[in-house]
Amino acid sequence: MLQQNIKHIGVIGTGVIGTSWATYFLSKGFEVTASDPAPGAEKSLRAAIAANDPTLPLNLLHFESDPEKAVRDVQFVQENGPERLAFKQELFKRLDACTDPSVLLISSSSGITPSEFQSHAKYPARILLGHPFNPPHLIPLVEVCGGKATSEEAIQQTLAFYTAIGKKPIRLNKEMKGHVANRLQAALWQEAFYLVQQGVASPEDVDLAISQGPGLRWALLGPFLNLYLSGGPGGIKHFLEHVGPSIQTWLNDLGKIEINDELIVLLSKNIDGMLEGKDISKIAEDRNRVLLALMNMKDKAENLP
Ligand SMILES: NC(=O)c1ccc[n+]([C@@H]2O[C@H](COP(=O)([O-])OP(=O)(O)OC[C@H]3O[C@@H](n4cnc5c(N)ncnc54)[C@H](O)[C@@H]3O)[C@@H](O)[C@H]2O)c1
């Protein structure tokens, strides 16, 4: 029987993602014990949470540098340590050995599959993936996926828990490198890099092609429902029958790209140029402010997913 009653959460690793998860869990009223061995980690964590949400009381936040002590009284663990297979296998082995088998042990990993990081544990049925999007205190999506040894009960409880606290979890029925959302992003990045490399458009215009074009719709509906609407009364069937042959020729023509030194220099030079005279922290502030307003509006639009 896994946990039904989650009150206290262990957040292991308090870098970019762990800090943001801790902010979110505290904002939902959970007690949080965080852990990170880096010198000064507790001070940085408290400062970063206060910066994320200055109204948040920090009396429910505890800190232990030792992860085993941090998970002593928790019912749910969100792991956000370094993205290295051997590290995660060893950490999950330790967390598994020092927690009751009813405690859900979740990793935020972007690229390591749950079958890999659960493989050294004695009770792997409660070990699975809960991959967030940066920053998790703002972006609702979490990708949930079990490994070979994860129980269906643990997957269902994790989906139910994230839903209950206001996240929008999706379930992956199969483990796949990069999960779902990053694979979709990678497909887009590949073509964005290619278009710049080929001199078809500047990085600034490629960005505008998304942020002032399809990106506006994608924040509201995904590719399938947007395609359905593009098909008029005939929906996606009509759209694909009508425009599909043309799309096939674009698909056949898409670029292949290699992320090598040459590409990194080309993109960073161009994008540094594009940012000249602009304050990136102000851009991030505006992005986060507008994002929150948009999400508030979405919450009130009952026909949007
Ligand atoms: N950055 C992103 O956009 C993003 C998005 C989704 C998921 N993730 C995943 O989240 C995880 C963390 O990524 P990040 O970007 O926050 O990395 P990060 O480098 O910012 O943070 C990693 C933290 O782990 C700490 N750490 C090192 N050894 C540790 C140990 N033994 N126990 C506990 N903590 C330890 C480090 O001190 C550091 O603070 C990774 O698995 C990554 O794939 C990252």
Q: Give the pLDDT confidence score for residue 107 in this predicted structure.
A: 98
> Does any ligand 1 atom lie closer than 6 A to the CB of residue 158?
no
| 3-state secondary structure (DSSP) of residue 218 | helix
Q: Which amino acid is at 12?
A: I
Domains of the chain, start order: 8-171 (3.40.50.720), 181-300 (1.10.1040.10)
Question: Ligand 1 centroid vs 86 CA: distance in angstroms?
Answer: 14
Q: Give the pLDDT confidence score for residue 80 in this predicted structure.
A: 98
Q: Which atom of ligand 1 is nearest to the CA of 109?
A: 41
Mutate which of 11, 12, 16, 21 for ligand 1 pocket (most atoms within 8 A of beta carbon): 16
> Does any ligand 1 atom lie closer than 6 A to the CB of residue 268?
no
> Does any ligand 1 atom lie closer than 6 A to the CB of residue 169?
no
Which element (helix H / strand E) includes 293?
helix 280-300
- The DSSP bridge pattern shows strands 141-146 and 127-132 to be antiparallel
> Does any ligand 1 atom lie closer than 6 A to the CB of residue 14?
yes
Question: Ligand 1 centroid vs 110 CA: distance in angstroms?
Answer: 10
The CB density around residue 21, as the number of other CB atoms within 10 Å, is: 27
Residue of the CA atom closest to atom 15 of ligand 1: 16
Question: Ligand 1 centroid vs 280 CA: distance in angstroms?
Answer: 23
List the strands of the sheet with 76-79, edge to edge: 61-63, 31-35, 8-12, 76-79, 104-107, 127-132, 141-146, 168-171
Q: Give the pLDDT confidence score for residue 36 in this predicted structure.
A: 98
Residue range 255-295, pLDDT digits in tens: 999 999 999 999 999 999 999 999 999 999 999 899 999 99
Give the HSE-up count for residue 251: Cα atoms under 13 Å, Cβ half-sphere.
Answer: 6
Is the pTM of the predicted complex or chain greater than 0.85? Answer: yes
pLDDT tens track, the chain, 305 positions: 566 689 999 999 999 999 999 999 999 999 999 999 999 999 999 999 999 999 998 999 999 999 999 999 999 999 999 999 999 999 999 999 999 999 999 999 999 999 999 999 999 999 999 999 999 999 999 999 999 999 999 999 999 999 999 999 999 999 999 999 999 999 999 999 999 999 999 999 999 999 999 999 999 999 999 999 999 999 999 999 999 999 999 999 999 999 999 999 999 999 999 999 999 999 999 998 999 999 999 999 999 98
Q: Give the pLDDT confidence score for residue 94 in this predicted structure.
A: 98
